[in-house]
Amino acid sequence: MPKFCSEDIMENKQGKPKPRWRVLIGSRSFGKAFPEHLIQLKEAGCEAIENTIGRAYCEMELLEELPGMDAIITGTDQLTAKVINAADTLKTIVKHGVGLDTIDLEAARARGIVVSCAPGAMQDSVADLTLALMLTAARKIVPAHLGTREGSWKAFFGMELKDKALGIIGLGRIGKAVCRRAQGFGMRVIAYDLYPDKDFAEANNVTFVTLEELLRTADVVSLHAACENIEKPIIGTSELDKMKTTALLINTARGQLVDEKALVDALREGKISGAGLDVFVKEPPTGSHLLELDNVVLTPHIGGQTMDGLRRMGEMTIENCLRALRGEPPLYRVV
């Protein structure tokens, strides 16, 4: 990241540096693994107000915290229209990530607030976890590990990935990264996307199909679709009924893409073989029946939690934030 000169910092009457901008840190991960990212903000003239509650801010909390702020670096904070309209000095909303489903973009646009995100920073991290969940579910690694640790020596019969069909719903940056990895295991890739990238498909031997054909054909269904403006989950009872009884469902995108009650029923009744989930409708999924099942692998939304990805995402976030505060176009503007 570039260093920013002292021209970005005003001085008070005593000649000491005075912050030019106030930045609320909503994201729980920004500045944690790399404290130097907070230092870079401060050196550029920002007062960084860190997240001390250990979770995303809810609407009521933001109504108190956000007024008087020039920027917010957000994770999954509830940036509703009510919050945005009450943020009297807010100039920019900077997503520390890519998902925008917790930000009311229309309210931001109406207020002239610049919204940006950090695409591409985490795609390899999420793609790696997707394959990890796929392999873990396919080879029943969790029950095998637990049984071995407890003194059992029981064999668990799983599924090879070679020659199996991987159905990717949402062939964007992450979906493409998953595609390349899966082909390394000898999988055949089919995909469903509202805006198909035909050049990528042709170059990488991917076949675009209807959602129904994907569900009926795929041995593994992996979700990588956006969550903004969806009226109902992409995967519900009807979709699960179409899947093979031997199929796996992997979700490292957003919990809202799946009807969790329908998924629990499908897993219990053997309508599908298993699932690997990194995301949930409610996080953490306290009280969810998913926690009771042996044929599902669960991780606590760690898709992007690698040192490599967090470094890239932090650098992009800082650049987006400071550019917007200085009145310059951010690297990746959404609104």
Catalytic residues: 254, 283, 301
Question: Following DSSP, what letter does each residue of 200-244 receive, concatenated?
Answer: HHHHTT-EE--HHHHHHH-SEEEE----TT-SS-SB-HHHHHHS-
CA geometry: angle 134, 140, 145, nearest 5 deg: 120
* Sign of the dihedral defined by the CA atoms of residues 279, 60, 73, 323, in that order: positive
Q: How far apart are CA 56 and CA 41, in angstroms?
A: 21
Q: How far apart are CA 326 and CA 322, in angstroms?
A: 6
Contact by Cβ (8 Å): 171, 196: yes
Enter the tokens of residue 130. Answer: 């997707």
Contact by Cβ (8 Å): 193, 171: yes
Enter the tokens of residue 205. Answer: 């031997």
